[in-house]
Chain A
Amino acid sequence: MTGEIGLFALILAFGVALFQGTVPLIGAARGDANLMAVSDISSVVLCGLVTIAIVMLGHGYVTSDFSLLNVWQNSHTLKPLIYKISGVWGNHEGSLVLWVLILAIYGAALAVFGRQVPPALRARALAIQGLIAAGFLAFSIFTSNPFARLIPIPAEGMGLNPILQDPGLAFHPPCLYMGYVGLSVAFSFAIAGLLGKEIDSTWAKLARPWVLLAWCFLTAGIALGSWWAYYELGWGGWWFWDPVENASFIPWLIATALLHSLRVAEKRDTLKAWTLLLCITGFSLSLLGTFLVRSGAITSVHTFASDPARGLFILAFLAAVTGGAFALFAVRAPRIRAEGLFEPVSREGALLLNNVFFGAAAATVLLGTLYPIFMEVAGSPPVSVGPPYYNAVFLPIAIPAIVLAAMGPAIPWKRADLPGVLHRMRFAAVCAVGAAVLTGVLQRDPVPMALAGYGLAAFLAAGTVRQWLARLRPARSPRRLLRRVRNLPASAHGMTLAHLGVAVLVVGVTASSTARVDVEQVMHPGEALSLAGHTIEFAGVEDVDGPNYTALQGRFLVTGPGGSATTLLPERRAYLASGTATTEAAILETFVGDIYVVLGDPVADGGWGTRLTFNPLIWWIWGGAFLSVLGGAVSIAERTRPRMYAAGAQPASVQPA
């Protein structure tokens, strides 16, 4: 029964979504408040229906109901409960339902919490959300039904890809989807604004928290994915420029550009057409990512089993949604009046330059990701576009962007004098030189990239902190200081945290890519070696049994410089259900870095292949990402005071951020 309830809920939801996608649009066109108001109700109903569907699917997984084809293909009775639940979205059909659910949650949230959004704008935005939901529901029902039945009912399921049986997987996709799909709100705002011809600073102010929310989830999702790849894939790397990673990274670059251009649109009522373009592009690239992952157009360790029919459906949907949106943009955007002055040396100028860098970076990563497809379609010999390419072309764009991030906050709005800005950056420059010199002294033979990386991080961190302090400086007593801290707009704190996060990340990236130590050798039981001040003794290998796998477990005794002892147990697992093997690295996390141990193949004389890696400061990468997400979250908390902005006046007491 549950499967039929779920499918019925999906079909009902499809009807509701179609209703939501049309009636409020008519209402908004006619100025009919009643017709517009149905958007709120139907958004909540849609959310409820999709929730029912996913709960039904989840029920099938938890109870191992193998009469459902999807459960049989992707689950197994021996699987731990958490992976039964995460198994819901560990496959194409289920992850699609999750995708629609998140879309519906955003719609309902906009209906419930978006009270300050003008009715016509809200009705149109929700209608666009409804149309997108209808498209994905049709995709789910007609090509990827998660509730298809199986007769006769098998006794046991086929199991979930073991590499996906991991806590990282339980949270990474939902988080990433929250980000991907969250960009749909910005998209809907843009289309609604274009339809209603109401793009102004109020519009930007209203759209901003939604973009921030999506950006936070997207950042967290990408960081989780990278962390998962680091400890699960067993290669000791954290970013591989894999097409699927890129598929999430490109929208992130656009979303980051959008956050900065929205600031300009909001504060200076300008750069609006460009901001709209970013809104549309961001979500379009999310859809493109979905297409690439689900159609088999690119191959990667992350892609779901491919099916050209599905690919064709998404491609048609993608073309309709983005083509339609860009066509509307082409017609309406030229009429948007550009207001306000625009000086090259000004905060808005710096934010514009930020957009130049992020836009070019996004286009670059997109080009690299799609180029093999271009070559294939053109019938040319295949090429591989791998990390060396991206390092060569991405860093030259990323590095000036980081320099700019350090300097931007020191540049006032409207018009700044360059000498004054440079004067304010003196402290940061001294810190940068200091960091580079310190690196040179501490490392006997530093690579230039290390000097640059640490210098860059110090420049950004010091510049960011200095600007934050400068805005608090006049406070004499601690109480006053606290009041000033509280009086600063939340976005000022948020931006400070987010940029500090980038500085921390730069340190992590620099350390792990310039000072990583790898030892790959055959070790015999009892043998020991020393790595980064740690002594690592290989005690031997034994057989262990997990809940749904058997494993060879290596035992490594690690003694730290302070005498602290830890045992690391890397495994090579063989999963019973599928027969696949995985390599589980064991990691000792210390403040200065990770000891990363991988067990390899046995050698004839009783030794074992081992790979021992010291990854210095690698956790700073995820720590930095966490700080940035925290910064984004703090910025969301900034109160929206629509009445104040409705008059178009900027209260003089509010310092621009």
Chain B
Amino acid sequence: MTGAASVIGIVVLLPILASVPATAESSDERVRALAAELRCVVCQNQSLLDSDADLAKDMRALIRERVEAGDPDEAIVDFLVERYGDFILLQPPFKPATWFLWLGPLAFLLLALALARTRIRRARSHRNDPDDPGAS
């Protein structure tokens, strides 16, 4: 059964590995990582990293200055949120107004699994009790 164990290992391990975030080290990487998480507020749907808008360039410059001054990422993000609101975050914060946004996917998955489970159970009870089409 080592084969089966290894298969199960793979099936469990791969998703876990995939969810480990990469960490940024150099200040260049930090600026890029921060800019990628923030919205260009005057663009339709671009991050600060991708945008050529003047305001986005200014904000990148500001982020760079603060990164080089040694400010932690959270302080820089908070600074911009204070001025532009949650709107500037491409990843919305978890708060009452966004609970449904964040918990929705999990709810959908659980709901779909529950539906699938009743489907399988129903079919099973059909087999056990073929005379009762209404079994559920």
Direct contact of A and B (CB under 8 A): yes
Closest-CB distance, B3 to chain A (whole angstroms) = 4
How far, in whole Å, are A52 and B58 apart by their CA atoms in the complex? Answer: 52
Contact A383-B97, Cβ < 8 Å, known A388-B91, A448-B17: yes
Closest-CB distance, A455 to chain B (whole angstroms) = 5
Considering the complex, give the chain B residue whose CB is closest to the CB of A270. Answer: B123
Q: Is the interface of A mostly helix, strand, loop or mixed?
A: helix
- B104 close to A364 (CB less than 8 A): yes
How far, in whole Å, are A393 and B44 apart by their CA atoms in the complex? Answer: 22
Residues in A neighbouring B9, C-beta threshold 8 A:
429
Per the 8 Å Cβ criterion, residues 1-59 of B in contact with A are 1, 3-4, 6-11, 14-20, 22, 32, 36-37, 39, 44-47, 50, 52
- A299 close to B44 (CB less than 8 A): yes
Interface string of A439-467 (1 = CB under 8 A from B): 00000000111011101100100000000
Per the 8 Å Cβ criterion, residues 371-423 of A in contact with B are 371, 375, 380-389, 392-397, 399-400, 403, 407, 419, 422-423
Contact A337-B133, Cβ < 8 Å, known A383-B92, A426-B6, A583-B52: yes
- A338 close to B126 (CB less than 8 A): yes
Q: Apart from A300-B44, A397-B109, what 6 extra A-B contacts exist at CB < 8 Å?
A: A341-B126, A363-B108, A367-B101, A384-B39, A426-B3, A452-B18
Residues in B neighbouring A315, C-beta threshold 8 A:
none
Considering the complex, give the chain B residue whose CB is closest to the CB of A363. Answer: B108
Residues in B neighbouring A368, C-beta threshold 8 A:
101
Residues in B neighbouring A522, C-beta threshold 8 A:
none
Contact A384-B90, Cβ < 8 Å, known A360-B112, A399-B18, A452-B18: yes
Residues in B neighbouring A352, C-beta threshold 8 A:
116, 119-120
- B18 close to A383 (CB less than 8 A): no
- Enumerate chain B interface residues (CB-CB to A < 8 A): 1, 3-4, 6-11, 14-20, 22, 32, 36-37, 39, 44-47, 50, 52, 85-92, 97-98, 100-102, 104-105, 108-109, 111-113, 115-116, 119-120, 122-124, 126-127, 133
How far, in whole Å, are A432 and B36 apart by their CA atoms in the complex? Answer: 31
- A455 close to B10 (CB less than 8 A): yes
Residues in A neighbouring B91, C-beta threshold 8 A:
386, 388-389, 392
Residues in B neighbouring A554, C-beta threshold 8 A:
none
Contact A396-B15, Cβ < 8 Å, known A240-B45, A368-B101, A384-B39: yes
Residues in A neighbouring B6, C-beta threshold 8 A:
426, 429-430, 433
Residues in B neighbouring A423, C-beta threshold 8 A:
3-4
- A381 close to B87 (CB less than 8 A): yes
Closest-CB distance, B20 to chain A (whole angstroms) = 4
Residue A518 CB within 8 A of the other chain:
yes
Residue A243 CB within 8 A of the other chain:
yes
Residues in A neighbouring B36, C-beta threshold 8 A:
387-388
Considering the complex, give the chain B residue whose CB is closest to the CB of A430. Answer: B6
Residues in A neighbouring B116, C-beta threshold 8 A:
352-353, 355-356
- A384 close to B17 (CB less than 8 A): no
- B90 close to A433 (CB less than 8 A): no
A-B contact list, 29 entries, CB within 8 Å: A235-B46, A237-B50, A299-B44, A299-B45, A301-B45, A338-B126, A342-B124, A352-B119, A355-B116, A360-B112, A364-B105, A367-B104, A381-B97, A382-B87, A383-B89, A383-B101, A384-B88, A386-B45, A388-B91, A389-B91, A393-B105, A423-B4, A426-B6, A432-B10, A433-B10, A447-B20, A448-B20, A449-B22, A452-B17
- A452 close to B14 (CB less than 8 A): yes
Contact A340-B45, Cβ < 8 Å, known A359-B112, A384-B92: no
Residue A343 CB within 8 A of the other chain:
yes
Considering the complex, give the chain B residue whose CB is closest to the CB of A244. Answer: B45
Per the 8 Å Cβ criterion, residues 224-249 of A in contact with B are 235, 237, 240, 242-243
Per the 8 Å Cβ criterion, residues 257-272 of A in contact with B are 270-271
Interface centre among B37, B88, B126 (most CB of A within 10 A): B126
Residue A167 CB within 8 A of the other chain:
no
Closest-CB distance, B12 to chain A (whole angstroms) = 9
- A387 close to B15 (CB less than 8 A): no
Closest-CB distance, B124 to chain A (whole angstroms) = 7
- A341 close to B127 (CB less than 8 A): yes
How far, in whole Å, are A393 and B27 apart by their CA atoms in the complex? Answer: 28
Residues in B neighbouring A380, C-beta threshold 8 A:
97
Residue A514 CB within 8 A of the other chain:
yes
- B108 close to A386 (CB less than 8 A): no
Residues in A neighbouring B111, C-beta threshold 8 A:
360
How far, in whole Å, are A451 and B20 apart by their CA atoms in the complex? Answer: 11
How far, in whole Å, are A518 and B88 apart by their CA atoms in the complex? Answer: 24
- B45 close to A383 (CB less than 8 A): no
- B18 close to A456 (CB less than 8 A): yes
- A399 close to B109 (CB less than 8 A): no
Considering the complex, give the chain A residue whose CB is closest to the CB of B6. Answer: A429
Considering the complex, give the chain A residue whose CB is closest to the CB of B101. Answer: A371
- A356 close to B112 (CB less than 8 A): yes
From A389, A422, A518, contact of B7 by CB (8 A): A422
Residues in A neighbouring B22, C-beta threshold 8 A:
447-449, 514
How far, in whole Å, are A337 and B133 apart by their CA atoms in the complex? Answer: 8
- A386 close to B39 (CB less than 8 A): yes
Considering the complex, give the chain A residue whose CB is closest to the CB of B31. Answer: A520
Residues in B neighbouring A514, C-beta threshold 8 A:
22
- B87 close to A383 (CB less than 8 A): yes
- B50 close to A235 (CB less than 8 A): yes
From A301, A343, A353, A367, contact of B44 by CB (8 A): A301
Considering the complex, give the chain A residue whose CB is closest to the CB of B50. Answer: A235
Residues in A neighbouring B45, C-beta threshold 8 A:
240, 242-243, 299-301, 386
- B126 close to A383 (CB less than 8 A): no
Closest-CB distance, B7 to chain A (whole angstroms) = 5
How far, in whole Å, are A423 and B45 apart by their CA atoms in the complex? Answer: 47
